[in-house]
Amino acid sequence: MSSSGMCSYIPNPVLVSISASEASDKDDTEDKIDAVFGVYRDEIGKPWVMPFVLELEKKLLQSDDFNHEYVTYLGLQSFNDLVPRLVFGEKSPHLQNGKAFGVQTVSGTSALRVGAELLARYYNYTTFYISDPTWDNHELTFLYAGFSTSRKYRYWDPVKRGVDFEGLIEDLREAPENSVIVLQLCAHNPTGCDLTKKQWTEVADVMQERKLFTFFDAAYQGLASGNLEEDAWAVRYFADRGFEMLIAQTFSKNMGLYGDRTGCLSVVLKEKSREETEVVKVKLEAITQALYLCPSKHGAEIVIRTLQDPQLTKQW
Ligand SMILES: Cc1ncc(COP(=O)(O)O)c(C=O)c1O
């Protein structure tokens, strides 16, 4: 096939991961450890479902309004009302004044993909930066969304065995204006090393100075500090400083809903009128319609029922 106008470099790390996982399943070494996917397992290596999720699922099956209907392009409205509050805070002024909103997606991967496509297709962004190293699907997702240039900022210092913060700042300072910077919010994959609050403030300074676009990947909220609020600190700090940004959220990890593909793209717009915000939503609808029509219902129902019930939220 002619490669004109298409990405010529197509990495495919995901297929490598899947075959490694399959090879691990077939290997009968007794003390093997499958470290390919980050998923909960019980003591004998079987998938583990959070007990409150199982209970909710039983109730859901018996409820009168249980069905397999389609949802709208941007998902269930109560999901979109509840989930952004996890990153912005329960009483966030940005949600109340309509500058921030969320749309349900097919998990974190498509929150990234839909957000990236919004930037590339409608706002002409071309260059993205990911940390070195990062989750192996970031690059593919952004390239397929229409970005042409993939770059890395330094993150891991193998000598110090921690974040190479000077390298990171230097690389951001040198990034061309309007580059999209993918920042993992917490529990950085694969290093496990996160920025301190002071370091986040320095990153925000450079992002502002250099006119860089912030795209948070919040794949592990709650799993770094054990506290949802604490782990969301950087998003709230950036939002309070008036950054326009995107945030990819997922319940794959923190609720163990991996295969139910339950996520959210949260959006913060700067000084946009309500009409302009509606236009952004129409663009998002066009992207999701063409990609997968609409997100899936089951996982979203579990999340809604959890977040609507303070007892269940506590249990979670
Ligand atoms: C850093 C990071 N971002 C995003 C994801 C997306 O996961 P999902 O599509 O299952 O939500 C993952 C999954 O491992 C991840 O590690």
**Nearest protein Cα to ligand 1, atom 12:** 219
How do beta strands 127-132 and 245-250 pair?
unpaired
The CB of 263 under 6 Å from ligand 1? The reply is yes
Domains and CATH numbers, the chain: 77-315 (3.40.640.10)
Has 200 been annotated as catalytic?
no
Record the pTM.
Answer: 0.92
- CA 63 to ligand 1 center in whole angstroms: 31
Has 217 been annotated as catalytic?
yes
Residue 181 pLDDT greater than 70, yes or no: yes
H helical segments located in 27-148: 51-62, 77-82, 84-88, 93-96, 107-117, 123, 138-144
Cα separation, 213 vs 284, in Å, equals: 18
Residue 86 contacts by C-beta under 8 Å, 6 or more apart in sequence?
Answer: 221, 228, 232, 249, 307
- Helix (H) or strand (E) holding 315, with range, is helix 310-315
Q: Are 141 and 7 in contact (CB under 8 A)?
A: no
**How does pLDDT run across 55-98, given as a tens digit for each residue?**
999 999 999 989 999 999 999 999 999 999 999 999 999 999 88
269 by Cβ neighbours in 10 Å (0-12 / 13-18 / 19+) ranks as middle
The CB of 189 under 6 Å from ligand 1? The reply is yes
Atom of ligand 1 nearest to the CA of 250: 11
Q: List beta partners, residue 156.
A: 163
Has 156 been annotated as catalytic?
no
Atom of ligand 1 nearest to the CA of 262: 11
pLDDT band for position 32 (cuts 50, 70, 90): confident
3 SS3 class: coil
Q: Are 132 and 154 in contact (CB under 8 A)?
A: yes
Of 83, 135, 194, the one to substitute when testing ligand 1's pocket (max ligand atoms within 8 A of C-beta) is: 135
Q: Residue 211's closest CA among 237, 171, 176, 170? A: 176
